[in-house]
Protein backbone atom coordinates (compact mmCIF):
# COMPACT_ATOMS: atom_id res chain seq x y z
CA UNK A 1 0.00 0.00 0.00
CA UNK A 2 1.44 3.37 -1.02
CA UNK A 3 2.08 6.16 1.48
CA UNK A 4 -0.66 8.24 -0.15
CA UNK A 5 -3.15 5.38 0.10
CA UNK A 6 -2.29 5.00 3.80
CA UNK A 7 -2.66 8.75 4.25
CA UNK A 8 -6.09 8.73 2.59
CA UNK A 9 -7.17 5.91 4.91
CA UNK A 10 -5.87 7.82 7.91
CA UNK A 11 -7.72 10.97 6.82
CA UNK A 12 -10.84 8.90 6.19
CA UNK A 13 -10.58 7.48 9.71
CA UNK A 14 -10.36 10.97 11.21
CA UNK A 15 -13.36 12.24 9.24
CA UNK A 16 -15.37 9.16 10.15
CA UNK A 17 -14.55 9.40 13.87
CA UNK A 18 -15.46 13.08 13.99
CA UNK A 19 -18.73 12.40 12.18
CA UNK A 20 -19.83 9.39 14.24
CA UNK A 21 -18.78 10.87 17.58
CA UNK A 22 -20.15 14.29 16.57
CA UNK A 23 -16.89 15.99 17.54
CA UNK A 24 -15.17 18.88 15.81
CA UNK A 25 -12.83 17.60 13.12
CA UNK A 26 -10.15 20.00 14.39
CA UNK A 27 -10.19 18.17 17.75
CA UNK A 28 -9.73 14.79 16.07
CA UNK A 29 -6.93 16.23 13.94
CA UNK A 30 -5.16 17.54 17.05
CA UNK A 31 -5.49 14.14 18.79
CA UNK A 32 -4.11 12.37 15.74
CA UNK A 33 -1.21 14.83 15.51
CA UNK A 34 -0.28 13.97 19.10
CA UNK A 35 -0.57 10.26 18.35
CA UNK A 36 1.57 10.69 15.25
CA UNK A 37 4.30 12.45 17.21
CA UNK A 38 4.32 9.57 19.69
CA UNK A 39 4.40 6.89 16.96
CA UNK A 40 7.19 7.76 14.51
CA UNK A 41 6.73 4.43 12.71
CA UNK A 42 3.48 5.86 11.29
CA UNK A 43 5.00 9.17 10.28
CA UNK A 44 5.16 8.52 6.53
CA UNK A 45 1.39 8.79 6.15
CA UNK A 46 0.90 11.75 8.47
CA UNK A 47 1.80 14.81 6.32
CA UNK A 48 -0.62 14.00 3.51
CA UNK A 49 -3.35 12.83 5.90
CA UNK A 50 -3.04 16.12 7.75
CA UNK A 51 -3.13 18.06 4.46
CA UNK A 52 -6.33 16.28 3.42
CA UNK A 53 -8.09 16.84 6.74
CA UNK A 54 -7.06 20.51 6.92
CA UNK A 55 -8.26 20.90 3.33
CA UNK A 56 -11.61 19.32 4.14
CA UNK A 57 -11.97 21.58 7.19
CA UNK A 58 -11.12 24.70 5.17
CA UNK A 59 -13.45 23.80 2.29
CA UNK A 60 -16.19 21.86 4.10
CA UNK A 61 -19.18 23.91 2.97
CA UNK A 62 -18.24 23.84 -0.72
CA UNK A 63 -17.34 20.15 -0.63
CA UNK A 64 -20.63 19.21 1.04
CA UNK A 65 -22.65 21.39 -1.37
CA UNK A 66 -21.07 19.66 -4.36
CA UNK A 67 -21.67 16.21 -2.90
CA UNK A 68 -25.34 16.95 -2.25
CA UNK A 69 -25.76 18.54 -5.67
CA UNK A 70 -24.44 15.42 -7.42
CA UNK A 71 -25.81 12.74 -5.07
CA UNK A 72 -29.17 12.62 -6.76
CA UNK A 73 -31.88 11.73 -4.27
CA UNK A 74 -29.49 11.54 -1.33
CA UNK A 75 -28.83 14.11 1.35
CA UNK A 76 -25.60 13.94 3.32
CA UNK A 77 -27.59 12.96 6.41
CA UNK A 78 -29.00 9.87 4.63
CA UNK A 79 -25.61 8.58 3.48
CA UNK A 80 -23.63 6.10 5.54
CA UNK A 81 -20.99 7.97 7.57
CA UNK A 82 -18.18 6.11 5.84
CA UNK A 83 -19.51 7.18 2.42
CA UNK A 84 -19.62 10.82 3.55
CA UNK A 85 -16.00 10.57 4.68
CA UNK A 86 -14.86 8.86 1.47
CA UNK A 87 -16.61 11.45 -0.69
CA UNK A 88 -15.21 14.38 1.30
CA UNK A 89 -11.63 13.11 0.94
CA UNK A 90 -12.04 12.44 -2.78
CA UNK A 91 -13.80 15.74 -3.55
CA UNK A 92 -11.03 17.62 -1.75
CA UNK A 93 -8.48 15.79 -3.91
CA UNK A 94 -10.45 16.45 -7.10
CA UNK A 95 -10.84 20.17 -6.43
CA UNK A 96 -7.85 21.17 -4.36
CA UNK A 97 -4.92 18.87 -5.12
CA UNK A 98 -3.75 19.21 -8.72
CA UNK A 99 -0.99 16.64 -8.05
CA UNK A 100 -3.60 13.85 -7.91
CA UNK A 101 -5.16 12.92 -11.25
CA UNK A 102 -8.95 12.70 -11.19
CA UNK A 103 -8.84 9.02 -12.13
CA UNK A 104 -6.59 8.25 -9.14
CA UNK A 105 -8.77 10.15 -6.65
CA UNK A 106 -11.88 8.39 -7.95
CA UNK A 107 -10.25 4.95 -8.07
CA UNK A 108 -8.95 5.26 -4.51
CA UNK A 109 -12.40 6.32 -3.30
CA UNK A 110 -14.09 3.41 -5.07
CA UNK A 111 -11.59 1.00 -3.56
CA UNK A 112 -12.24 2.40 -0.06
CA UNK A 113 -16.00 2.14 -0.56
CA UNK A 114 -15.64 -1.44 -1.79
CA UNK A 115 -13.61 -2.44 1.27
CA UNK A 116 -15.31 -0.39 3.97
CA UNK A 117 -18.93 0.25 3.08
CA UNK A 118 -22.10 -1.30 1.67
CA UNK A 119 -22.46 -3.37 -1.48
CA UNK A 120 -23.93 -0.38 -3.32
CA UNK A 121 -21.45 2.22 -2.07
CA UNK A 122 -18.72 1.78 -4.69
CA UNK A 123 -21.15 2.46 -7.55
CA UNK A 124 -22.68 5.38 -5.64
CA UNK A 125 -19.27 6.93 -4.90
CA UNK A 126 -18.20 6.42 -8.52
CA UNK A 127 -21.35 8.14 -9.82
CA UNK A 128 -21.07 11.15 -7.52
CA UNK A 129 -17.36 11.67 -8.12
CA UNK A 130 -17.67 11.10 -11.86
CA UNK A 131 -20.38 13.77 -12.06
CA UNK A 132 -18.28 16.21 -10.03
CA UNK A 133 -15.20 15.57 -12.18
CA UNK A 134 -17.23 15.93 -15.41
CA UNK A 135 -18.76 19.17 -14.16
CA UNK A 136 -15.32 20.74 -13.83
CA UNK A 137 -14.22 20.07 -17.40
Helix, strand and coil content of the chain, in percent to the nearest 5, comes to 80, 0, 20
Task: Give the CATH H-level superfamily of domain 3-136.
Answer: NusB-like (1.10.940.10)
Q: Hey, where are the domains in the chain?
A: 3-136
Biggest CA-to-CA distance, the chain: 44
Q: Mention every residue, 6+ apart, whose C-beta is less than 8 A from residue 80.
A: 117, 118, 121
The pLDDT tens digits for 6-49 are: 999 999 999 999 999 999 999 999 999 999 888 877 778 899 99
The pLDDT tens digits for 77-113 are: 999 999 999 999 999 999 999 999 999 999 999 999 9
Amino acid sequence: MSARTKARKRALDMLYIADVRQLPLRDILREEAERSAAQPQRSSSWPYAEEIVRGVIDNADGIDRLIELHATGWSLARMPAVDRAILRVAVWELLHNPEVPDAVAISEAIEAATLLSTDDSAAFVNGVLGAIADGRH
